[in-house]
Amino acid sequence: MQARQADQEASSVKTSVLDVSAPAVTARRSREVSLDLARLAAAGFVTPDGVRTRLADEFRVIKRPLLANVQGRSAAPVDRANLIMVTSALPGEGKTFTSINLALSMAMEVDSTVLLVDADVARPTVLERLGLQAPKGLLDLLTSRDLDVADVLLRTNIDRLSILPAGQPHSRATELLASDSMNRLLDDLASRYPDRVLIFDAPPLLPSTESRVLASHMGQVVVVVEADRTSQGALTQAMATIESCPVVMTLLNKVRHSKVGSYYGYYGAYGN
């Protein structure tokens, strides 16, 4: 009698254990999107399947010192070197065009993966330029505890390139970018994959405050300067807002004539 009762209890325990472990945990997977590479090439963007162009060569030159810092091959180590912000002093100088092309060019590297973040949260245009749509993104991650990065990340048909949209507009966007939640998100994004480079298309420095806040998180900053348009005063004022960043480079854009025959001119400046 006691033996039968013990068998029944043991059977009950076994059943209970099986019931507890029965529900399967479903891993979240990012949404897949397809970039129209022919359309991008026609719009002047670098594509992995495109022919070698002068523009592609220009971005090979531009990305080398940035990647050298990421990979620890610079003269001095750069903290958070894989966080790269692209901005400008004023609107319309070509920062988004530069951000996208830099991301596309870096995604062609065999030892790097790239996450392009639309951080121009007031006027996001990255998805529009790429012919994509997405309802949620960066700001939603900072305001909703129920969202995971995988819920809003877009995996593209370019193997090493993913995109994080800006998300829904928020009245306190500047405060959100300066929050502890943003710090934790950046740490997660930067460390989740050891070979990941994050490129942030940020707002212009002078008309907004978001870029100044975002720059405090970055290891490297690229400031796009439009030839024959951006004044020395505007550039000096813009550079002063990010003087605490470890590495700041300037990129001269829309050069109509060059001694080397290129449309894009590149000038790099390292400093505090």
One-letter-per-residue 3-state SS of the chain? CHHHHHHHHHHHHHHHHHHHHCCCCCCCCCEECCCCHHHHHHCCCCCCCCCCCHHHHHHHHHHHHHHHHHCCCCCCCCCCCCEEEEEECCCCCCHHHHHHHHHHHHHCCCCCEEEEEECCCCCCCHHHHHCCCCCCCHHHHHHCCCCCHHHHCEECCCCCEEEECCCCCCCCHHHHHCCHHHHHHHHHHHHHCCCEEEEEECCCCCCCCHHHHHHCCCCEEEEEEECCCCCHHHHHHHHHCCCCCCEEEEEEECCCCCCCCCCCCCECCCCC
Residue 159 lies in a domain: yes
pTM attached to this predicted model? 0.83
Determine, yes or no, domain membership for 268.
no
Q: Does residue 271 register a pLDDT over 90? A: no
Question: What confidence category does residue 14 fall into, taking pLDDT thresholds of 50, 70 and 90?
Answer: very low
| Percentage of the chain lying above the pLDDT 90 cut | 55
Range of the structural domain that residue 115 is part of? 31-253
- The residue type found at 73 is R
Alpha-carbon distance 2 to 6, whole Å? 6
Q: Which of 100-114, 115-129, 242-256 has the lowest mean pLDDT?
A: 242-256
pLDDT value, residue 11:
42
pLDDT band, very low/low/confident/very high, at 249 (cuts 50, 70, 90): very high
Tally of domains within the chain: 1
Whether 79 is in a domain gets the answer yes
Mean pLDDT of 88-101: 95
Between 210 and 259, residue with greater pLDDT: 210
Here the CATH number for the domain that contains residue 58 is 3.40.50.300
Residue 39's pLDDT is what? 94
Which pLDDT score, from 0 to 100, does residue 269 have?
33
171 CB neighbour count, 10 Å cutoff = 7
For residue 144, is it within any domain? Answer: yes
Query: Tell me: the pLDDT tens digits for 141-160?
Result: 999 988 999 999 999 999 99
Q: Output 6 or 174, whichever has higher pLDDT.
A: 174
Residue listed under structure tokens 């348009």: 229
Say if CB 199 and CB 102 are below 8 A apart: yes
Whether residue 10 lies inside any domain: the answer is: no
pLDDT for position 199: 98
Q: What pLDDT, on the 0 to 100 scale, is given for residue 256?
A: 66
What's the pLDDT at 28?
Answer: 67
Could you tell me if residue 231 is inside a domain? yes
Query: Is 101 domain-assigned?
Result: yes
Mean pLDDT score, 42-64: 89
- 6 located within any domain: no
Residue 76, pLDDT score: 82
